[in-house]
A = this chain, B = another copy of it.
């Protein structure tokens, strides 16, 4: 892997600091001065990398969304059966949310608030296209219920946000078995019953 350039390191540090402050304190309590301090950078420097605070938040969102999607689809290929493919993607998504806790919390916060420009949100959704295509194939083959992809997403991927939130607050502990159970519920909800 190519070593990151110095400015790339700073950019990453700013993104990490933004994520950290936003998920812990909320957008309204994540001032530029604190973001700068946490990233070991002067406030003015942020403006060399981002236009303003809104641009910073939008870019952080898009960057994380892209890395989320990359993770989700990294082992997937279109030769897989629908069920195989779905299981594969779903488990990678769960894995991302378990490993990249802060980033996942950030995304779910963005997706449920007007924090992010509507335009950036639209942009972020595009990354999920392979999953939508897979679902379409599943519906054509009659193995997945015939409903819009919003519904499929709501009952398979979206619930993970709730579970990860609960895990974060230590209301539940998540292990291999828990993930498997959650997967089965996701599949049960969208599979076409014979």
Contacts and interface: CB of A to CB of B under 8 A. Distances in A.
A161 interface: yes
Contacts of A186: 155, 189
A49 interface: no
A76 interface: no
A159 interface: yes
Interface in A144-190: 145, 147-148, 150-151, 153-155, 158-163, 165-166, 169, 171-172, 181-182, 185-186, 188-190
Contacts of A120: none
Contacts of A67: none
A185 B189 CA distance: 5
A185 B181 contact: no
Interface string A55-97: 0000000000000000000000000000000000000000000
Interface residues of A, number: 42
A165 B109 CA distance: 13
A50 interface: no
B150 A154 contact: no
Contacts of A7: none
A129 to B, nearest CB: 15
A158 B151 contact: no
A114 B165 CA distance: 11
A120 B91 CA distance: 33
Interface stretch (A8-16, A19-27, A40-48, A135-143): A19-27
A114 B188 contact: no
23 contacts: A23-B114, A24-B114, A25-B114, A26-B114, A109-B113, A111-B165, A112-B161, A113-B113, A118-B169, A145-B185, A147-B181, A148-B172, A150-B166, A150-B171, A150-B172, A151-B185, A154-B162, A155-B159, A155-B185, A155-B189, A158-B158, A158-B161, A188-B193
